[in-house]
Amino acid sequence: MAANIVLAILVTSLATYISRFLGALTSEKIGETSKIYKWFNCVAYSTLAALISRMLIFPSGDLSDVHYILRIIVILLSILIFYVTKRNLVYPTILSAIILATLNSFAV
């Protein structure tokens, strides 16, 4: 069992770092205004939107115990904090966990 876990970690690490290395090698040849760059940008944002939507609609683990309304309130507050802090990602990320924990403790 332990050997399988180590093997899984090695394989996933290798796949991750090879793709990052190849990305670093080819990134100099791709312009920020090129169509391929825009396509990758769209794919990255759509993947992020899909993951966030999945967490909201079909949560797993401890998040599944939190009511939908509380999750929606936290997302809306995080978006508000994002714009109030001039599009800083650190504050809404940290505060969303704090707000979710606080609201969930009062809801129980």
Q: What is the pLDDT of residues 59-98, one digit of tens each?
A: 988 888 899 899 999 999 999 999 999 999 899 999 999 9
- Which range of residues forms the domain containing residue 54? 32-60
Same domain as 22, residue 36:
no
pLDDT for the residue 33? 87
For residues 41 and 72, state if they share a domain: no
Give me the long-range contacts of 65-71 (CB less than 8 A, separation at least 24): 65/104, 66/100, 66/104, 67/107, 70/100, 70/103, 70/104, 70/107, 71/100
Q: Let me know: does 99 contact 81? Beta carbons within 8 Å.
A: no
Q: How far is CA 9 from CA 1, 20, 75, in A?
A: 13, 16, 32
Residues 19 and 45 in one domain: no
- What's the predicted TM-score (pTM) here? 0.59
- Are 41 and 76 found together in one domain? no
CA distance 34 to 31: 5
> What token pair was written down for 10?
């090695």
Q: Is the pLDDT of residue 3 over 90?
A: no
Domain co-membership, 26 together with 54: no
For CA atoms 62, 60, 94, 23, give the dihedral sign.
positive
Residue 108 has pLDDT above 70, yes or no: no
**What is the model's pLDDT at position 1?**
66
Question: Where among 20, 43, 60 does a domain terminate?
Answer: 60
Q: What is the pLDDT of residues 18-64, one digit of tens each?
A: 988 988 888 787 788 889 888 988 998 899 889 888 888 899 888 88
